[in-house]
Amino acid sequence: MKRILTLAITLTILSCNSHAQKEKKETFKVSKTDAEWKAQLSNLEYNVLRHAATEPPFSSKLNNNHQKGVYVCKGCDTPLFKSEHKFNSGTGWPSFDREIEGNVAFSTDYDLGYERTEEHCATCGGHLGHVFNDGPKQTTGERHCINGAALKFVPKNK
């Protein structure tokens, strides 16, 4: 019995997915020091983009934005989503049925205890939100649930 308990404890320790184990050191085209990010971004923008925080639902002005244009990364101005791909998901966050290919990168997180697909800016690594498979069936079926604090809207010139 003692051996089984020892084996179980050992396996548990070895299989733990600690924060230190999942932290990755990626290199991005736009790279800044923590102080530079803090100087550029508001507290909310910094926490969302650099520490994967989530803004409160229905708090972003971009959630109800219906203008034509492009949503770019608040950290580096990389174009991420087009207005024609935005839809009202009712979730309280700006939602899109697709990203601008090549400008958004994906990874897996287990922060809530289950697997989710995280989205981040491919240029600066800023956290954007998550993608789910419960979007509009008539298009991609995807719902890119994005923090408005991670985005800046650039209206289309008329």
Record the tokens describing residue 35, joined without a space: 């102080």
The one-letter amino acid at 61: K
Question: Which residues does residue 154 pair with via DSSP β-bridges, in sequence order?
Answer: 70
**Identified catalytic residue from 73, 76, 121, 145:** 145
DSSP for 21-47?
HH------SS---HHHHHHHS-HHHHH
Question: Which residues does residue 104 pair with via DSSP β-bridges, in sequence order?
Answer: 121
- What single-letter DSSP state applies at residue 112? T
Record the tokens describing residue 2, joined without a space: 């003692």
Q: How far apart are CA 87 and CA 95, in angstroms?
A: 6
Q: Is 145 a catalytic residue?
A: yes
- Which residues belong to the active site? 145
